[in-house]
Chains A and B, each alone.
Chain A
């Protein structure tokens, strides 16, 4: 099925470092969402973006909705051990009448203490 292109696929960083990941699509979306998933759990919503160019923060997390509406970025500042997990971007295009979310393949974040 259709998926977004998310990169990098995995990241190995030191505690305290900043993290950046992004998501691109060939289709326009009018909503971008970022989720975090830990082993054995469902995705947990981190940030939702509704307008092109929008920049939204949630604590140490900052996400942006790209101007072209075909991409989004997530940054994590000063990483800590509990940031470990898989981060997914998800897009939605309600203008096409679709309520469903289309997900990226995920970015697996590993932190070395």
Chain B
């Protein structure tokens, strides 16, 4: 079946612009995660949804970052007033159940802030 999809795959933004990154999880997956991956590093957790509820947003680096999953399926990560340090790959992952251990990742969105 279809895996996790993300769009756009690449985004170039000028500093100060707002961006919105989309994630379509695997159909039926309850849990959805966003991670940020800087160049040469492992992914770092940003936020977690169980269905439409955002249960953990402890990894969001500032109040410029906002995520939503209004209907418990598609999720959007929004970054306001982008800064150069926001340049990274943003990865979305989903898992089948609340207590499922395996997370399946999408291809990511590479954000470059100029």
Contacts and interface: CB of A to CB of B under 8 A. Distances in A.
Interface residues on B, range: 20 to 34
A40 B33 contact: no
B87 to A, nearest CB: 16
A1 B55 contact: no
Given A99-B33, A100-B48, A104-B42, A42 B106 contact: yes
Contacts of A48: 101-102
A103 B43 contact: yes
B42 A3 contact: yes
B101 A92 contact: yes
Given A99-B48, A100-B59, A45 B103 contact: yes
A52 interface: no
Interface string A59-85: 000000000000000000000000000
B109 to A, nearest CB: 10
Contacts of B56: 98-100
B107 interface: yes
B64 to A, nearest CB: 17
Contacts of B99: 94
Interface of A: 1, 3-4, 6, 31, 33, 35, 40-45, 48, 50, 88, 90, 92, 94, 98-106
